[in-house]
Structures are given as C-alpha cells and as structure tokens.
Structure 1
Amino acid sequence: MLAIAKITAKGQTTIPQNVRAALHVSPGDLIAWEVGADGTATVRRVQPLDIEYLRAVEGTLSEWASSADEDAYREL
C-alpha cells in the first residue's frame, strides 16, 4: 500500500485513513518509528504498558529468583 502525506512547517503530518486502518490506530494511540541505515522508515503501533499488571506478574516470579536459578540460567 502506498500513501503519500505532506509534512507541515512544524514537522507534523496526517496519517492517511487507510494507513490508520491498517495499523489499527486511533487518536491517543502510540506509534513507533524505526529508521534503517538505508533511510527507510518503518512505523508500527505500540501497545501501552500496563504497569500495574506487570508489577503483579513480577510478584509471582520470586520463586524463580534463587541463586541456583541464577547459576543455571546465567549463560542463556
């Protein structure tokens, strides 16, 4: 899919509707830009992190944090 958009003097642009639909993005969503060494750019939708969920999961992983586990998995 090819879509062309103009960049404003402030460096802003409008993401064309068909691109927004393909990326499943809407106002307030996050996107990430990755620029390759050859000058190509890739844009993708970024899922926001749910910090409360991650902290809850972290609390359940303490059984895997022993020194024996550290020794066993150090080289991975």
Structure 2
Amino acid sequence: MLMSSGDKAAKLHYGPSTFRVLRPGQHVFCAVSGEVILLEELRYWSAQHQEAYASPEIATKRLLGEV
C-alpha cells in the first residue's frame, strides 16, 4: 500500500518564530511526551534544540531542564 505524506511524520527546521518543512507530512511528535502534534496545531518548539512540544507546560519544563 502506498503511503501519502499525511501518513508520515513531517521533518521540520524550527526557527525562532516559524518553522520550515524539510519533508512533507501532517504531524510531528512531541520531543518529551511522544504525542502526535498536527502541523496546523503546532505552536510550541525550540529553535535551539530543534524540538516540538505538545503544550506550553511541556515546553517550559523542557527548557528549564525539568524533563
């Protein structure tokens, strides 16, 4: 069976205020929880660590080194 880009995780380059799609897909995974994050719902990431986060709480804990 052929997979569409929606069946795979996207690969992104995270900038300070936006991200660039390097490999098409519909989602990425939270770097901490592993939760699927649809690209249209992606709001939290770290440009420094090149990671996506599922919530502001997870992002804050990660950036403070708590997880």
The structure carrying a bigger helix percent of its residues is 1
Question: What TM-score, normalized to structure 1?
Answer: 0.27
**Which TM-score applies when normalising by structure 2?**
0.29
Larger Rg: 1
